[in-house]
Amino acid sequence: MNLWSQFLSYQDIHRPTQKMKYYFPVYERYFRDFIYKPVTILEIGCWKGGSMLLWKNYFGPQATIIGVDINPACKAYEEDQIHIRIGAQQDPQFLQSLLDEFGVPDIILDDGSHFQNHVIATFEYLYPRMNKNGIYMVEDMHAAYWQEFEGGYQLPTTFIEKAKKLVDELNADHTRGALPPSPFTRSTMGIHFYGSMVVFERCAPRLDFSMVMPAKAALLEDFVANLIQLDDQGNTSGIADMVRFETSPVFLLEAIEVLLAQTRTRPAYVIAAMLHNVGVERWLISFSLAVGSVLFQLHNKREQYVQQLTRLSSEASLQRRNELSQKYVIPVIAPLLEAAIATEDVGRVTQWFAVLKSCSPDLLAVPGPLPTVGVEAKIPFLADARSLLQRLRREA
């Protein structure tokens, strides 16, 4: 039976409970992982004790429920699993006594006085001291807009305004120094706003991004190293199997860049083919496909890949094309073209010229001297290759 059904079927005129009906989907969302486990729930505000029984029935026999109220009469609601303590929710000494007696709570529900200074004082003391994977829930936030509870629209002293500011604190790592990270930043996974309710999800201390990035770089380095080892073995199927388990297009695109910079065309092609199959279209992917279609003699694919690369190149600025040529094209094509010239393989030379032209459409657009785009200086035998092509064609 879910919590809503239990609430509807609950009948006790001596210990009623009063909850807004749209709270229940929120309860279910955050509490379901604690059911039938050793869990400590601290609810501030007992009223007539009905909610204590609701939590006891919902969480099961291993749950410890602690109710807090300033009304001494609430002590009568104690029973097996339910403990009632009398004290002021804003009193840090009283709150510490609860922690000393019961340990850190997994779930805290503030349904107490609703006075804004009380809600803030309770949160500031208990939130840093609760379970690192706990849930802190503040109910009846409509009181933050009502004057009788020290509230008011956009009044800076209300808990709802404090919660709004904590959104910035949660994202302090992204503010480029405008807001320094705090213990709250490091210990909070999320803040969720619902109608008249705010929920905080705690988490184990999380690293900042400057500490995470080296770990990502190491992961990429290991991935590329494994691909290169398989490439040295000529194990194309092994490369494909390894790539298949990686699902992040950004990570795989970064791997292509590293591989091309090291002139590792085979694994770069395998990654590019996988990304192309799932609809990712980038200049480097198209370049890898065009090179791979020649290396793997994929005659039925080569024209398609070259045309796609030509289209993407024409959309890029001349400066961008030059940057890509200097960084990736020249290191990859130079040794391949040199080998084709050495063997006088007119077919391969022609194909590499086609790839070169697709990378920079204006490269071979006019007869005579090649346009100056930085390529001729980096590949001194390029003019010889063109002369070889002309000679072989005349002899043919």
**Domain range annotation of the chain:** 3-202, 210-395
Q: Is the pLDDT of residue 288 over 70?
A: yes
Three-point CA angle 217, 219, 222, nearest 5°: 110
Q: Is the pLDDT of residue 388 over 70?
A: no
102 vs 303: CA distance, rounded Å: 72
From 17-21, 196-200, 259-263, 330-334, the region with the lowest mean pLDDT: 17-21
CATH code, residues 3-202: 3.40.50.150
20 vs 88: CA distance, rounded Å: 24
In the residue annotation, 118 being an active-site residue is answered as no
Residue 372's pLDDT band, with cuts at 50, 70 and 90, is very low
pLDDT at 387: 63
* Cβ-based neighbour number of residue 302 at 10 Å: 20
Three-point CA angle 345, 350, 353, nearest 5°: 125
User: What is the phi/psi pair of residue 386, to 5°?
Assistant: -65, -40
84 vs 67: CA distance, rounded Å: 5
Residue type, 234: G
**Lookup: tokens for 170:** 């949660």
pLDDT, mean of residues 173-179: 82
Residue 369's pLDDT band, with cuts at 50, 70 and 90, is very low
Q: Are strands 188-194 and 135-138 parallel, antiparallel or unpaired?
A: unpaired
Evaluated on CA atoms 159, 163, 168, 171, the torsion sign reads: positive
The tally of CA atoms less than 13 A away on the side-chain side of residue 385 is 29
* Residue 79: DSSP 8-state: B
Q: Is the pLDDT of residue 380 over 90?
A: no
Angle between helices 330-342 and 346-359 (to 10 degrees): 160
pLDDT, mean of residues 312-334: 82
Find the helix or strand (DSSP H, E) in which 258 lies: helix 249-261
Evaluated on CA atoms 63, 64, 66, 72, the torsion sign reads: positive
Query: pLDDT tens digits for 124-157?
Result: 999 999 998 899 999 999 999 999 999 999 999 9
Q: Is the pLDDT of residue 378 over 90?
A: no
From 77-86, 174-183, 211-220, the region with the lowest mean pLDDT: 211-220
pLDDT, mean of residues 190-206: 90
69 vs 43: CA distance, rounded Å: 9
Selected catalytic residue, list 83, 114, 118, 142: 114
From 81-95, 302-316, 326-340, the region with the lowest mean pLDDT: 326-340
The tally of CA atoms less than 13 A away on the side-chain side of residue 211 is 6
pLDDT at 396: 41
Query: pLDDT tens digits for 47-66?
Result: 777 788 888 988 989 999 99
Q: Is the pLDDT of residue 35 over 70?
A: yes
More confident residue, 386 or 133: 133
Query: pLDDT tens digits for 90-132?
Result: 999 999 999 999 999 999 999 999 999 999 999 999 999 999 8
From 159-163, 251-255, 334-338, the region with the lowest mean pLDDT: 334-338
Highest mean pLDDT (candidates 180-194, 343-357, 380-394): 180-194
More confident residue, 286 or 212: 286
pLDDT at 3: 66
What is the SS3 assignment for 100? helix
64 vs 269: CA distance, rounded Å: 58
More confident residue, 74 or 353: 74
Residues 239 and 270: beta-carbon distance below 8 Å: yes
Q: Is the pLDDT of residue 391 over 70?
A: no
Residue 374's pLDDT band, with cuts at 50, 70 and 90, is very low
Average pLDDT of the residues of the chain? 83
